[in-house]
Amino acid sequence: MDFELSEENRIFQKAIRDFAQKEIAPLVEEAEATNVFPKQLFRKMGEQGFLCPRYPVELGGGGGDKITECIMVEELNRINAGIAASLMAQSGLATQPIYKYGSEEQKKNILIPAIKGEKVGAFALTEPNAGSDAASIQTRAVRDGDSYIINGAKIFITNGPFCDYVIVAAYTDPSKRGNGINLFIVERGTPGFSVARKLDKVGNRSIETGELVFEDCRVPAKNMIGDKEGGGFSQIADTLISGRITYGARCVGTAQAAYDLTVQYAKERVQFGKPIIKFQATRFKLAEMAMNIDIMRTYTYKVAWMYEQGRNVRKEASMVKLFTAEILQKILSDCMQIHGGYGYMMEYPIQRYWRDGRLFTITEGTSEIQRLIIAKELGF
Ligand SMILES: Cc1cc2nc3c(=O)[nH]c(=O)nc-3n(C[C@H](O)[C@H](O)[C@H](O)COP(=O)(O)OP(=O)(O)OC[C@H]3O[C@@H](n4cnc5c(N)ncnc54)[C@H](O)[C@@H]3O)c2cc1C
């Protein structure tokens, strides 16, 4: 057993940490205040192989693996959860289906520019009436000669308002629940594809989240990912399994940043004549947080390693997502408590982590859905 990051991983960790401090941290306040994502980051990160670190160098990636991607996501989340979310959508959901199942042409025209940060992607599964119950999506793709005509609406789509392309889930055969779904690449500017609105969120304000509409949107048949109708659901499941591991790293990064801020605050804040970190009540909370962060991190990276070994981690990926997101809620609540009234003020940064982290039990499969998956995998 070896629980250490490799030398290569450590070098990457330092490089991405320095990059995040120097290039991303100065952009956070404005992005949060304006709800506008600093789009130059896609190219900047792409140029250095930071954007999609686990894809091969020949495709413009960093030549790393799932562990490398987790390191990237953890480090970015320490700086800002919203910015991290947009970038991790690109490194995972918006590229993995093409990387694993796409045609050579799709790889050349969409995937490689996406890995390099020249094109921004989005992944659109959720609909106004189909969230957890993804098999109930109503978007349809009807074959017409050499094209498909897509009709439907998608909601809560990360990067949706400004993406250059979106991977859309649609039924090609609605008679087969789940099994009749396919993924399609729809490029910006395709007639019939529009952004209905940008959504106003409680946290993660630097992500641009949108509602997308497809109205008689005609795309070439070659934009379907995979070569047979009905293969989409397993592509989606595979993409989400990978995403749940990365999500663990997202929770670790947020937890670590909130903990660091809280330790610093507890050392500085004096009550009853001593810094509050001297009170046992504070120290116990911090001790428990440190323990939980260690467990969150160890388990996330273990499952990332298992994924790299090619093992079936459907159950473990859900365990990572469920555990890290739920424990994070307790950590953030305790961080807020230690900050007292100041923590509730917008001028203190802890409130942002508290608002941002609240999302994590909801997106990419709610905690309840992770429990359902784990129970099913256990054979219950
Ligand atoms: C900021 C943000 C960004 C997002 N980005 C994307 C994106 O890029 N692409 C995309 O496709 N989607 C995205 N989503 C959608 C996200 O994945 C969904 O919100 C999530 O899957 C939950 O779906 P829902 O919101 O419709 O909730 P619902 O499915 O309506 O669930 C509501 C509640 O009911 C519970 N529930 C539902 N079914 C069951 C059940 N069978 N048993 C027990 N409890 C159940 C849920 O756990 C939850 O607590 C994003 C969402 C947000 C908020």
pLDDT value of residue 1: 84
pLDDT confidence band for 330 (50 / 70 / 90): very high
pTM > 0.95: yes or no: yes
239 CB near ligand 1 (under 6 Å): no
246 CB near ligand 1 (under 6 Å): no
Q: Give the separation between CA 353 and CA 335, rounded to whole angstroms.
A: 10
Cα 51 from chain centroid (whole Å): 13
Residue nearest atom 16 in ligand 1 by C-alpha distance = 363
Query: Is 105 a known active-site residue?
Result: no
Q: How far is the CA of 211 from the centre of ligand 1 (A)?
A: 14
Q: How far is the CA of 128 from the centre of ligand 1 (A)?
A: 10
Q: Which two tokens stand for residue 353?
A: 């982590």
Q: Give the separation between CA 300 and CA 319, rounded to whole angstroms.
A: 9
Q: Give the separation between CA 251 and CA 323, rounded to whole angstroms.
A: 10
Contact 79, 28 (CB under 8 A): yes
Q: Which two tokens stand for residue 281?
A: 């009540």
Checking if the pLDDT of 279 tops 90, the result is yes
Over the stretch 166-213, which tens digit does the pLDDT of each residue have?
999 999 999 999 899 999 999 999 999 999 999 999 999 999 999 999
Over the stretch 212-243, which tens digit does the pLDDT of each residue have?
999 999 999 999 999 999 999 999 999 999 99
H helix or E strand, kind and range, residue 142? strand 140-144
Residue in the structure block whose two tokens are 């947080």: 289
Ligand 1 atom, smallest distance to 372 CA? 42
Over the stretch 80-129, which tens digit does the pLDDT of each residue have?
999 999 999 999 999 999 999 999 999 999 999 999 999 999 999 999 99
Instruction: State the burial class of residue 362 (Cβ atoms within 10 Å of its Cβ: 0-12, 13-18, 19+).
Output: middle
Within 8 A by CB and 6+ apart from 289, the residues are: 255, 259, 262, 331, 334, 335
Number of C-beta neighbours around residue 298 at 10 A? 12
132 CB near ligand 1 (under 6 Å): yes
Contact 24, 58 (CB under 8 A): no
368 CB near ligand 1 (under 6 Å): yes
Nearest to 125 by CA among 110, 141, 137: 137
Nearest to 362 by CA among 177, 166, 78, 85: 85
Contact 82, 31 (CB under 8 A): yes
Residue in the structure block whose two tokens are 């992944």: 123
Q: Give the separation between CA 370 and CA 309, rounded to whole angstroms.
A: 22
pLDDT confidence band for 354 (50 / 70 / 90): very high
Per cent of the chain over pLDDT 70 is 100
